[in-house]
Amino acid sequence: MASKLTRFEKARIIGARALQLSMGARPLVDVPESLDPIDIATLELKKKVIPLDIRK
């Protein structure tokens, strides 16, 4: 993820990661107050630890 993500890419990554989390994947950040997988995925994206890449 070298260049800035477009808003579509951001949404897609957060969505995919949130699905993984909801199905039991281990969060790669300390879980924040909210247990919502989307919030966790958003935090993960912010810290750039999501193990997903964009395929153009």
Partner 1 sequence: MIEKVTKVVKKKRAKFTESLIHEIAQAAQRHDLDDDELDELVKRVKKAYERAKIEAGEAVGTVAAQSVGEPGTQMTMRTFHYAGVAELNVTLGLPRLIEIVDARKKISTPTMAIFFEDEYRNDEEFVRTIANQIGKSTMNDILQDFHINYAENNVVAELNMEKIADKRLNFDDIINRVEKAFKKVQIDNNLLSFEPAKSSIRELRLLADKVRDLQISGVKNIGRVVIRKEEEEWVIHTEGSNLGAVLKMEGVDKVRTTTNDIHEVEKVLGVEAARNAIIHEAQRTMDEQGLTVDVRHIMLVADMMTADGSVKSIGRHGISGEKASVLARASFEETGKHLLRASIRGEIDHLTGIIENIIIGQPIPLGTGSVGVVMKQK
Residues of this chain that interact with partner 1 (CB under 8 A) are: 6-9, 11-13, 15-16, 51-56
Smallest separation, CB 56 to partner 1 (Å)? 7
Smallest separation, CB 40 to partner 1 (Å)? 17
Of the pair 12, 27, the CB lying nearest partner 1 is at 12
**Gap between the Cα atoms of 52 and 32, Å rounded:** 21
Handedness of CA 45, 49, 52, 55 (dihedral sign): positive
Of 16, 24, 23, the C-alpha closest to 42 is: 16
Smallest separation, CB 44 to partner 1 (Å)? 12
